[in-house]
Amino acid sequence: MHEAAIAQAVLDTALEALPDKDSRITAITVVAGVLAGVEEECLTAYFNELCKCTAAEGACLRLVIEPAHLICKECDKQTNYAGDGRLALQCSACGGFNRLEGGKALYLDSVEVES
Ligand SMILES: [Zn+2]
């Protein structure tokens, strides 16, 4: 029920940001890291359901997936990790060990409002 909680939090925050009660939310952008484990279809489904009868009904939810990075401990070579499960433990340049960084972000990036 991870996505249900996120959808609710996103909606609550967006509604609180409304300048007045006649305004409507037309689009919301959420940024989620690949490691945050957010299923887009699932999040959109909950969001659309929760939005009913609120100022955000019919709003478009955009999910921007932020990559994580593999950084070599030896040479600092940085590679993007797209969350596909194929984590390279070793650096392709020098064979050193990689560490994983980032990809855990989860935040409301923007809210588009129409009044
Ligand atoms: Zn390296």
The residue extents of the domains of the chain are 2-68+102-114
Quick check: 115 and 22 in contact, CB under 8 A?
yes
Ordered alpha helix ranges (H), the chain? 2-16, 40-51
Q: Please provide the CATH number assigned to the domain covering 2-68+102-114.
A: 3.30.2320.50
Residue 1 has pLDDT above 80, yes or no: no
Residues 23, 25, 29, 35, Cα dihedral to 10°: 110
pLDDT band at 5 (very low <50, low <70, confident <90, very high): very high
If you measure from the C-alpha of residue 98 to the centroid of ligand 1, how many angstroms do you get, rounded to a whole number? 8
Quick check: 83 and 65 in contact, CB under 8 A?
yes
If you measure from the C-alpha of residue 32 to the centroid of ligand 1, how many angstroms do you get, rounded to a whole number? 27
- Measured between alpha carbons, how far apart are the two ends of the chain, in Å? 33
If you measure from the C-alpha of residue 27 to the centroid of ligand 1, how many angstroms do you get, rounded to a whole number? 42
**Stated pTM of the model:** 0.85
Instruction: Please compute the mean of the pLDDT values over residues 41-53 and round it to a whole number.
Output: 97
If you measure from the C-alpha of residue 106 to the centroid of ligand 1, how many angstroms do you get, rounded to a whole number? 29
Query: Which residues fall inside 5 Å of ion ligand 1, going by CB?
Result: 72, 74-75, 77, 91, 93-94, 96
If you measure from the C-alpha of residue 93 to the centroid of ligand 1, how many angstroms do you get, rounded to a whole number? 5
pLDDT of res. 86: 81
Residue 27 has pLDDT above 80, yes or no: yes
If you measure from the C-alpha of residue 71 to the centroid of ligand 1, how many angstroms do you get, rounded to a whole number? 8
